[in-house]
Amino acid sequence: MNKNLKSYSLISISLIFFIFLDLISFSQTADQIKPSLFLLSFIYWNIALPEKMNLFFAFIFGFLMDFIQGTVLGLYPLILVFISYLSQRFFYQFRPLKFIQQALVIFFIFIVIRFMIAVDLNDSNPNSLTLADKEYVLISIAFAVLNALIWSPSHYVHRIYRRKWIKI
């Protein structure tokens, strides 16, 4: 098999696997704060193999996420395009950071993602630009903290997978 095609397939398989894991449902509150393993995986691949991650990944997986999450079509592709660009623009600066510093960056990325999702695109609430309330902010912080904490083990697992299967 073509080397590039093999790498794309292996990256896609890992992303689909994490979408599967994200779809597993617990209680309603737990579902709202459980870490998004798919997004962590997407960030990892953009940082670890930027030359293999093009914008097609952002669009295809973005549309998939839009359908799964019920968001307006184009919102997740927009988020993933931003993540791709920022990750690939700053991966040289990001890679040498300590895990605690990386976790802090991840925390801010996920907070921003949650607020992007909360933008009132359908104008459901004419008095405000966002649908976020106090409870949503607290849940978003918990969600971002959990993602930041999971980043390190997720990075480790991804690295093992990459070294075992993906040859550059």
Q: Which residues bind another protein (CB under 8 A)?
A: 19-20, 23-25, 27-29, 31-32, 34, 50-51, 54-55, 58-59, 62, 66-75, 77-78, 81, 84-85, 88-89, 91-92, 117-118, 120-122, 124-125, 131-133, 135-136, 139
In the complex, least distance from residue 114 CB atom to another protein, rounded to whole angstroms: 10
**C-alpha–C-alpha distance, residues 79 and 69, integer Å:** 13
Cβ closest to another protein, residue 12 vs residue 152:
12
Location of structure tokens 């994200």: 22
How large is the angle between the packed helices 99-117 and 37-48, nearest 10 degrees?
120
3-state SS track over 110-123: HHHHHHHHCECCCC
Between 2 and 25, whose beta carbon lies closer to another protein? 25
CA distance 159 to 168: 13
How far apart are the C-alpha atoms of 112 and 115, rounded to whole Å? 5
Task: Tell me the closest approach of the beta carbon of residue 88 to another protein, in angstroms.
Answer: 4
CB of residue 100 vs another protein: minimum separation in angstroms? 25
In whole angstroms, the minimum distance from the beta carbon of 47 to another protein comes to 11
Angle (CA) 36-6-168 rounded to 5° is: 90
Task: Please say which residue, 56 or 100, places its beta carbon nearer to another protein.
Answer: 56
Q: Which is nearer to another protein, 78 or 145 (CB)?
A: 78
Residue with smaller CB distance to another protein, 4 or 54: 54
How many other CB atoms are there within 10 angstroms of residue 56's CB atom? 9
